[in-house]
Structure 1
Amino acid sequence: MERAYHKWFSKELERDMELLVWGHSGAPVIFFPTRSARFYDYEDWKIIEALRDKIESGQLQIFCVDSVDDESFYSKDAPSARIKRHLQYEKYILNEVIPLIRNLNPDQRLIAAGCSLGGYHAVNIAFKYPFIFTKVVGMSARYDLTISLPHFNNLFDGYFNEDIYFNMPNCYIPNIHDEQLLNQLRSLSIIIVIGKEDAFLENNKQLSLSLHEKGINHDFYEWDEEAHRPRYWRRMVQLYL
């Protein structure tokens, strides 16, 4: 498989950012890492290897981006600063990563994908910008980071503002009434995958119900067990990407 490493100083984040590109052509995929993980972890976990056939045959080109989760959602800064840093990361994806993709790959499709917190990143950015993305795959994710669950805290310590609201899909999807935006979401290919024993199961069911009530078609898959480990994700990417 073709493998390329990129690093540059991000103006949006005011720090160096790194990413890996796998493949030479096909539908480009922005692959968001798990909680506080790095751009090389999907390679280390053999998840990229699981996609070898699709990458080598030119069906997919994978862009494994880095995260700033330790500077945003998992930082010790004030909650308002956490969401602000997340929005800077979003601008990095929109204004720096996507232009790189468009420069390297003429395919006009664009897929967002991720596992665990990476699934949140993928679904949130695709739902906010459905006119940019053509497909999104969220695996083992939660879509409201303001709720507390066993072993998973409210990432804003009970603080809530407009920026947080507009970045929690389970909050904003039920309240979308703009028909143009709804039609854009309806044109998006949406795949949501969660384990039956995953702590985020009900959170995923809630998102699926909200999408259904808005007439937004999507595929919702429940896997046996928790299904929140690389060995499951290796199989998921083969099926859904």
Structure 2
Amino acid sequence: MQRQYHAWHSPALNRTMELLIFGHSGAPVLVFPTSHGRFYEYEDRGMVGVLSHHVDQGWIQLICVDSVYSESWYNYAADTDARMWREEQYEHYLITEVLPLVRHLNPNPFLIATGCSFGASEAVIFTLRHPGLVRRVIGLSGLYDLKRFFTHYTQGVYFHNPVDFVPNLSDQWTIDRLRETDIILAIGREDPAAWSNELLSSQLWGKGIGNALRIWDGWCHDWPYWQRMIVQYIGGHD
């Protein structure tokens, strides 16, 4: 399996950012780490291994990015607006730095985004905020109401909180692009965040945006379950 390490000083974030790319061709898969994970987590936790056949066959190419969660979502000592601005800068880094690199290495236009736990939250937020950019998103055990991270509710929080902004979507171009996106939300029935998956799925359907809500028996909030989930859903809704 082809494995590439990349690092550079990001103009958007004014810090060095690292990432790993696995594979030589196929649909690029943007992988977000968990809340305290790093760009090498997907490999360390066996997720790259369970997808090795897909990668070796040239069906997918994994782009495992780093995060700035500790400077944004989890930076409780900072002002709410500063935290959300850091998240905006992170999205800018992905769009203006990571994706151009991916497209330079791989012309396949079918971009997939995925993540586990908080990585799922980030993948879904990124997809919904940038309609038409991601063609399939696979959220595994994500939370989609993130207000509890903040003591002050601001416009920035609203626009990064799916269960708040999705019901108010009105721009037809945005809705049409999201209708063209494969949205897959998988979570355990006993996961404390399951309700937010059910709510977001219902809200999306309310806008005519189809999605696949997959509720697994039990808690399922751990790597062995996510390994099974990603293999099952990487190709579609099954």
CA contact (8 A) 1:112 1:126 kept: yes
Which aligned pairs between 1:16-35 and structure 2 lie closer than 5 A?
A: 16-35=16-35
Which aligned pairs between 1:131-170 and structure 2 lie closer than 5 A?
A: 131-146=132-147, 154-157=148-151, 159-170=152-163
Matched residue, 2:79: 78
Report SS of the residue matched to 1:225.
coil
Tell me the CA shift for residue 197 of structure 1: 0.5
Q: Which amino acid aligns with 1:20?
A: L
Q: Which amino acid aligns with 1:177?
A: S
User: How many aligned positions are there?
Assistant: 233
Runs of 4+ residues deviating >2 angstroms? none
Tell me the CA shift for residue 95 of structure 1: 0.8
Report SS of the residue matched to 1:108.
coil
CA contact (8 A) 1:36 1:68 kept: no
CA distance in 2, matches of 1:2, 1:58: 10
Report SS of the residue matched to 2:149.
coil
CA contact (8 A) 2:80 2:154 kept: no
Tell me the CA shift for residue 131 of structure 1: 1.5
Tell me the CA shift for residue 36 of structure 1: 2.3
Q: Output the TM-score relative to the length of structure 1.
A: 0.95
* Residues 37-85 of structure 1: per-residue CA shift (max 9 Å, x gap): 1000111110110100000000000000001111111112122211111
Report SS of the residue matched to 1:36.
coil
Q: Output the TM-score relative to the length of structure 2.
A: 0.96
Structure 2: tracts of 5 or more residues without a match: none
* Residues 100-132 of structure 1: per-residue CA shift (max 9 Å, x gap): 111100101111111111111111111111211
CA distance in 2, matches of 1:191, 1:131: 16
Coordinate RMSD, CA, aligned:
0.8
CA distance in 2, matches of 1:156, 1:85: 14
